[in-house]
């Protein structure tokens, strides 16, 4: 056992995190699309120390994603237009799920569709598949917020009625806890949050990436082949934090906060704003140990301030 593992095991702060049907050993997760299927990070980080890993967005059919270049760095951020590259539902079920089931951590599967039927199929199939492998999927994260595909994705997440409809349909097709993942590319995030709560979501995760672009002044053309991409990383943290704060006041279900979290101080801010758990995304690309650094810093903060449980921090900024 490494020193950091020992310190997490011996801490006096209760980290157990109960999210309306989803119980996690601690409140630090990894964000979809930034942590592969967990095994990619095995040489750096023991997933057993994480609250959960969220796998890359799965679609009914395999996807190669968008043409390259599809990543561009910006000051304090990353633009991506990966376009949901993934193995597709059947390959995921046969070849990825058994390996995920063997991991000593909670697994959340992120799903993305282009139509209502896609979401129904993904939810129903994964519900069955989870049962086949010892109930290894602990929740479905419904991505109604992907900015990098032509149809579906974000379109569902920018209209309250469509958002509610997708979540209600997923609810009909699965017994698993549902996490509705919201896009920040809207005027009023609280309207969408209330809609997915009425649709039957157990939990809300926010935020996905902010639509942006970058232009190469030597070629005088957009850097990304897709022209536009989703901005993530520290640049979006203040926007994400504001949205978590607003949504906390608008709904009665727990929130998973994400968007630019790279240090434990960021995570504490999100919890004070109202997130019951936090997800680490782009920071993993810079520091594969970022989720553990965040966890250890959070524990120290709680210990120093005399909190017995990390959940005591949730919403204190209100
Ligand atoms: C390369 C990349 C791929 C992503 N893929 C997905 C995805 O498949 N599904 C999804 O819901 N979010 C996806 N996201 C969004 C992240 O999960 C997260 O919501 C967003 O990046 C904000 O968090 P961060 O600033 O900590 O990265 C992706 C982000 C990046 C950078």
Q: Residue 211 sits in which domain range? A: 3-313
Give the per-residue pLDDT at 151.
Answer: 58
313: part of which helix (H) or strand (E)?
A: none
Q: DSSP characters for 208-225?
A: -PEEEE-EETTTTEESST
pLDDT level of residue 1 (50, 70, 90 thresholds): very low
Work out which ligand 1 atom sits closest to the CA atom of 262. 26
pLDDT score of 276: 99
Pocket residue to mutate for ligand 1, from 34, 56, 87, most atoms within 8 A of Cβ: 34
Q: Is residue 154 part of a domain?
A: yes
Q: What is the pLDDT of residues 198-227, one digit of tens each?
A: 999 999 999 999 999 999 999 999 999 999
Q: Whose CA is nearest to atom 29 of ligand 1?
A: 33
Which of the listed residues 209, 229, 241, 244 should we mutate to test ligand 1's pocket, taking the one with most ligand atoms within 8 A of CB?
Answer: 209
**Residue 318, in any domain of the structure:** no
Give a yes or no: residue 141 inside a domain: yes
Question: Which ligand 1 atom lies nearest to the CA of residue 80?
Answer: 1
In terms of Cα–Cα distance, which of 231, 143, 157, 241 is closest to 193? 157
In whole angstroms, give the CA distance from residue 256 to residue 29.
9
Extract the tokens encoding 255: 């929130």
Per-residue pLDDT of 16-57, as tens digits, reads 999 999 999 999 999 999 999 998 898 888 999 999 999 999
Is residue 264 in some structural domain? yes
Which of 232, 235, 262, when mutated, tests ligand 1's pocket best, judged by the most ligand atoms within 8 Å of its CB?
232
Could you tell me if 138 and 107 are in contact, meaning their C-beta atoms sit under 8 angstroms apart? Answer: yes
Nearest residue by C-alpha to atom 18 in ligand 1:
208
Which pLDDT score, from 0 to 100, does residue 235 have? 98
| 50 closest CA partner among 31, 72, 63, 65 | 31
Catalytic amino acids? 146
Total domains, the chain: 1
CA distance 46 to 28: 13
Dist. CA 140–CA 108, nearest whole Å? 6
Whose alpha carbon is nearest atom 4 of ligand 1? 33
| CATH code of 213's domain | 3.20.20.70
- Residue 239 DSSP SS3: helix
Question: To which residue do tokens 């109202």 refer?
Answer: 274
pLDDT of residue 153: 62
Report the atom number in ligand 1 closest to the C-alpha of 258.
23
**Angle at CA of residue 73, ends 69 and 77, nearest 5°:** 135
What's the whole-model pTM score?
0.96
């Amino acid at each position: 056992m490494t020193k950091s593992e020992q310190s997490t095991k011996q801490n006096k702060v209760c980290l157990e995190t109960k999210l309306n049907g989803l119980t996690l050993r601690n409140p630090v997760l990894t964000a979809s699309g930034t942590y592969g299927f967990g095994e990619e990070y095995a040489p750096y980080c023991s997933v057993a120390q994480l609250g959960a890993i969220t796998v890359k967005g799965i679609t009914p059919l395999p996807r190669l994603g968008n043409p390259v270049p599809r990543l561009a760095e910006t000051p304090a951020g990353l633009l991506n237009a990966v376009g949901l590259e993934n193995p597709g539902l059947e390959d995921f079920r046969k070849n990825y799920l058994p390996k995920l089931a063997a991991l000593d951590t909670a697994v959340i599967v992120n799903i993305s569709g282009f139509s209502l039927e896609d979401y129904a199929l993904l939810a129903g199939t994964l519900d069955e598949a989870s049962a086949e492998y010892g109930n290894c999927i602990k929740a479905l994260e419904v991505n109604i917020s992907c900015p990098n595909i032509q149809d579906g994705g974000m379109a569902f997440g920018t209209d309250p009625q469509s958002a509610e409809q997708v979540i209600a349909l997923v609810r009909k097709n699965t017994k698993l806890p549902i996490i509705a993942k919201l896009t920040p590319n809207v005027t009023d995030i609280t309207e969408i949050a209330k809609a997915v709560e009425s649709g039957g979501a157990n939990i809300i995760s926010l935020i996905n990436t902010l639509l942006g672009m970058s232009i190469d002044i030597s070629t005088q053309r957009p850097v990304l082949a897709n022209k536009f991409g989703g901005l993530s990383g520290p640049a979006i943290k203040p926007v994400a934090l504001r949205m978590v704060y607003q949504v906390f006041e608008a709904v009665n279900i727990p929130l998973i906060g994400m968007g630019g979290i790279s240090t434990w101080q960021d995570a504490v801010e999100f919890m004070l704003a109202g997130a019951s758990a936090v997800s680490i995304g782009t920071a993993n690309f810079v520091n594969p140990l970022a989720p553990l650094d965040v966890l250890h810093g959070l524990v120290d903060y709680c210990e120093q301030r005399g909190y017995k449980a990390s959940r005591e921090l949730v919403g204190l900024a209100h």
